[in-house]
């Protein structure tokens, strides 16, 4: 990308030509699937996957596409968990944000404003949010009031396309600091929560911080806090408890990885003429369309991408070493298929001066010695 992700004006709408091209890729009857912070965090974790970048940028419903390809996604939030999460979030924000202020360490704030952020369309809501942030910063400096923005909408340009992101809340402090609030329904037991879930929440919050920095750059006296407030149920109750999570590491990684993404229009321009991901097309055509865009599969995709099972099947069919994990792929250097790896280990192929080949042959020799010693050969 030619523009830094952490400075500059808010993103502009894509050109008419790009908007039309993305609509053609989705199909004439398909509405764009929103690109949220969770998807951006997953995309930042795998910036080499042009397939996901294009599908997310075009707003293709990847879950529906995976089902049409015969490899439906096996993960998602149940309706019960969704309702429980909404009820817990409502409790955290009740009484004008009194409980949320307490979790921030403010027991009796002089005043907490909760501005109305409603507006027409995502562009209007994002503009209204930016205005509310500027007004709240000015009011805090002048009157010492706190402001709670409930489900603000933030805009972020990614790979030439734009995404609208909706954090659970943003709190504007009287001193001009903006703090992202992430409300999750997984429990915090004895002041500790599941590390994997906390990590996922931190990566998601880092995307919000990144989007806020663009608005703060144009707001006098504003500063985005690099620590977010994670709110979860306490122990086995429904009482909220909070923990401050430093997301500077996640922010740095996300900024760098998103900047590495190939621009959406460049990926679309390289597609064969007539390529479309219209779900009304036959499965054979959809498969060909998906395979026309290169992917970067890794086992970690299974927890983050709806197309992971399809990509895993293709990786296994081709014998790609990526199916074994990014760590293994990095150790094998120029050996790109499992067949190449086995041939190198047996001494049938490969450069003996290649450290990867030498390590494989040494491992194969040690295995043979161990099997012989155990009487298995």
pLDDT in tens, 228-273: 999 999 988 889 999 999 999 999 988 888 887 778 888 988 999 8
Is pLDDT at 196 greater than 80 in this prediction?
yes
Looking at the DSSP assignment, which residues form a beta bridge with residue 155?
164
pLDDT at res. 75: 62
- For the chain, the average pLDDT equals 86
First-residue to last-residue Cα distance in the chain: 57
pLDDT at res. 9: 46
Looking at the DSSP assignment, which residues form a beta bridge with residue 246?
227
In this structure, the strands spanning 161-165 and 169-172 are unpaired
Which one is predicted more confidently, 83 or 7? 83
pLDDT over 70, % of the chain: 93
50-58 and 37-45 helices cross at what angle (nearest 10)? 160
Is pLDDT at 16 greater than 70 in this prediction?
no
pLDDT at res. 55: 92
**100-138: b (≥16 Cβ within 10 Å) or e:** bbebbebeebeebbebebeeeeebebbebbbebbbebbb
Least confident residue range of 15-24, 40-49, 168-177, 275-284: 15-24
pLDDT at res. 278: 92
- For residue range 41-78, what is the model confidence (pLDDT) as tens digits? 888 888 889 999 899 888 899 999 999 999 887 666 66
Please tell me the number of Cα atoms within 13 Å of 325 on its side-chain side: 3
Torsion angle, alpha carbons of 157, 161, 167, 169, to 10? 50
pLDDT at res. 3: 41
Average pLDDT over residues 108-127: 88
E-assigned strand segments in the chain: 112-113, 146-150, 154-158, 161-165, 169-172, 177-183, 223-224, 227-233, 240-246
Average pLDDT over residues 199-205: 92
Is pLDDT at 124 greater than 70 in this prediction?
yes
Is pLDDT at 177 greater than 50 in this prediction?
yes
338-346 and 355-373 helices cross at what angle (nearest 10)? 70
pLDDT at res. 6: 45
pTM of the model: 0.76
pLDDT at res. 360: 86
Specify whether the CB–CB gap between 65 and 290 falls below 8 A.
Answer: yes
- Residue closest to 95 by CA, chosen among 83, 105, 108: 108
Which one is predicted more confidently, 191 or 242? 242
pLDDT at res. 5: 47
Is pLDDT at 274 greater than 60 in this prediction?
yes
> Which residues have C-beta within 8 Å of that of residue 116, sequence separation ≥ 6?
none
Is pLDDT at 208 greater than 60 in this prediction?
yes
- For residue range 154-168, what is the model confidence (pLDDT) as tens digits? 999 887 777 899 999
* Residue 4 banded pLDDT, cuts 50, 70, 90: very low
How many Å apart are CA 243 and CA 249, to the nearest integer? Answer: 17
pLDDT over 90, % of the chain: 43
pLDDT at res. 45: 82
Average pLDDT over residues 122-136: 95
Is pLDDT at 151 greater than 90 in this prediction?
yes
Is pLDDT at 288 greater than 80 in this prediction?
yes
Return the DSSP state at 302. G
How many Å apart are CA 194 and CA 334, to the nearest integer? Answer: 37
Extract the tokens encoding 159: 């790979």
pLDDT at res. 77: 62
Specify whether the CB–CB gap between 343 and 332 falls below 8 A.
Answer: no
Average pLDDT over residues 281-285: 92
pLDDT at res. 84: 83
How many Å apart are CA 199 and CA 144, to the nearest integer? Answer: 34
Which one is predicted more confidently, 28 or 277? 277
Is pLDDT at 351 greater than 90 in this prediction?
no
> Which residues have C-beta within 8 Å of that of residue 209, sequence separation ≥ 6?
180, 224, 225, 226, 228, 247, 251
pLDDT at res. 48: 85
- As separate numbers, helices (DSSP H) first and strands (DSSP E) second, the chain gives 15, 9
Torsion angle, alpha carbons of 330, 334, 336, 341, to 10? -90
């Amino acid at each position: 990308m030619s523009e830094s992700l952490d400075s500059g004006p808010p993103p502009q709408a894509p050109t008419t030509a790009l908007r039309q091209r993305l609509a053609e890729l989705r199909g004439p009857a398909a509405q764009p699937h929103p690109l949220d912070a969770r998807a951006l965090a997953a995309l930042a974790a795998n910036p080499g996957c042009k397939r996901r970048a294009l599908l997310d940028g075009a707003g293709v419903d990847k879950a529906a596409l995976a089902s049409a390809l015969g490899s439906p996604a096996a993960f998602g939030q149940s309706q019960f968990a969704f309702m429980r999460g909404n009820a817990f979030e409502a409790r955290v924000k009740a009484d004008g944000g009194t409980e949320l202020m307490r979790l921030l360490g403010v027991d009796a704030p002089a005043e907490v404003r909760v501005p109305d952020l409603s507006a027409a369309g995502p562009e209007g809501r994002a503009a209204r949010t930016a205005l509310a942030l500027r007004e709240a910063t000015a009011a805090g400096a002048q009157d010492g009031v706190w402001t709670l923005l409930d489900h603000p909408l933030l805009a972020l340009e990614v790979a030439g396309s734009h995404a609208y992101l909706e954090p659970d809340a943003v709190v504007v402090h009287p001193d001009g600091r903006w703090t992202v609030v992430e409300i999750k329904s997984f429990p915090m037991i004895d002041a500790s929560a599941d590390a994997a879930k906390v990590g996922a929440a931190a990566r998601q919050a880092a995307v919000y911080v990144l989007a806020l920095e663009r608005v703060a750059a144009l707001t006098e006296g504003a500063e985005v806090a690099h620590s977010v407030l994670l709110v979860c149920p306490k122990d086995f109750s429904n009482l909220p408890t909070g923990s401050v999570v430093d997301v500077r590491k996640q922010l740095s990684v996300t900024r760098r990885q998103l900047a590495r993404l190939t621009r959406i229009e460049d990926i679309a321009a390289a597609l064969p003429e007539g390529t479309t991901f219209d779900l009304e097309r036959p499965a054979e055509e959809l498969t060909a369309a998906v395979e026309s865009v290169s992917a970067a599969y890794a086992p970690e995709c299974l927890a983050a991408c709806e197309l992971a099972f399809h990509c895993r099947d293709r990786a296994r069919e081709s014998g790609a070493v990526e199916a074994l994990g990014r760590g293994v792929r990095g150790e094998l250097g120029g050996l790109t298929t499992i067949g190449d790896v086995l041939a190198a280990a047996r001494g049938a192929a490969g450069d003996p001066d290649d450290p990867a080949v030498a390590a494989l042959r040494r491992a194969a020799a040690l295995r043979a010695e161990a099997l012989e010693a155990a009487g298995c050969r």
